Amino acid sequence: MSDSCCCGSKKPLFKGSESIPADAIILFDGKDFSGWVKRSDRNAPAEWKVENGYVEVVPGTGDVCTKELFTDCQVHIEFWLPLMADATGQARANSGVYLQGRYEVQVLDSYGLDSQHNDCGGIYRTKAPLVNACRPPEEWQSYDIFFIAPRFNECGVKIASARISVLHNGVWIHHDLEVHEPTGGQLDDNVSEPGPLMLQDHGNKIRYRNIWARKL
Ligand code: MG
């Protein structure tokens, strides 16, 4: 297939070996986490630990947010869960990916479970994934998330709720799901405003890598 457009100039669809779209905003490339700040003080740099191509939650340092703000967007993110054999339920490798800082796609070790809304891939307090697509702990997993922000009329009245589709490890687990309100633990309730991508510190050493987003 040609990578030239009709005027002959080169216009690559992807950059690098990770098939990252040319219009993607790189939020974490494995080394540079400077685009992230603390939830509790968004003028202060995030304190999570960067090493070996990933960033790891430092428990107690708090949730982290991108400086970049988003409305409609596509997000790619990869995560790795520690094996916590003695922990159960919400204590077992918990974190979360928050769209606009308000809508959480749960991150948890839910391998082999009958998934509920608060299990991995669930939209917290809202909807269980269509299927449990989890890999075991200590394996890299991915989310590809498609987020449509709530819509408001000229008087500021909400006329449409947020909508989310999610692929978990390439498996379609939410299809255009309406999410009527923030899902808990959100940054704020100002749903008409753009918000950051936020990652949750729930006290466990979750790792993340290859984080990028496209504004839609
Ligand atoms: Mg969580």
The CATH number linked to 172 is 2.60.120.560
If one counts every other C-beta atom within 10 angstroms of the C-beta of residue 150, the result is 20
Residues 90, 108: contact at Cβ < 8 Å?
A: yes
Does 7 score more than 70 pLDDT? no
Joined tokens for residue 215: 């504004």
pLDDT for 19 equals: 79
Residue 193 located in a structural domain = yes
Looking at the domain assignment, is residue 123 inside a domain? yes
**Residues around the ion ligand 1 (C-beta < 5 A):** 94, 96, 200
Ligand 1 center from residue 169 Cα (angstroms): 18
Instruction: Please indicate, yes or no, if residue 147 is contained in any of the structural domains.
Output: yes
Ligand 1 centre distance from Cα of residue 96 (Å): 4
In a domain, 3, yes or no: no
13 CA → ligand 1 middle, Å: 34
**Distance in angstroms (rounded) separating the CA atoms of residues 197 and 175:** 20
Q: How far is the CA of 88 from the centre of ligand 1 (A)?
A: 14
| 52 dihedral zone (left: phi>0; alpha: psi -120 to 50; beta) | left
Asked whether residue 124 is assigned to any structural domain, the reply reads yes
To the question of pTM greater than 0.85 for the whole model, the response is: yes
Rounded Cα gap, residues 4 and 13, in angstroms? 10
Query: What is the arithmetic mean of pLDDT over 61-71?
Result: 98
Residue 4 has pLDDT above 50, yes or no: no
CA of 14 to the centre of ligand 1 (A): 32
- pLDDT tens profile 145-197: 999 999 999 999 999 999 999 999 999 999 999 999 999 999 999 999 999 99
Please check whether residue 85 lies inside any domain of the structure: yes
Per-residue model confidence (pLDDT) at position 101: 98
Q: 44 in a domain, yes or no? A: yes
Q: How many domains does the chain have?
A: 1
Cα(175) to ligand 1 centroid in Å equals 21
Radius of gyration, CA atoms only, the chain: 17
Domain residue limits at 166: 17-215
Report residue 173: phi and psi, to 5°: -110, -15
Position 183 in a domain: yes
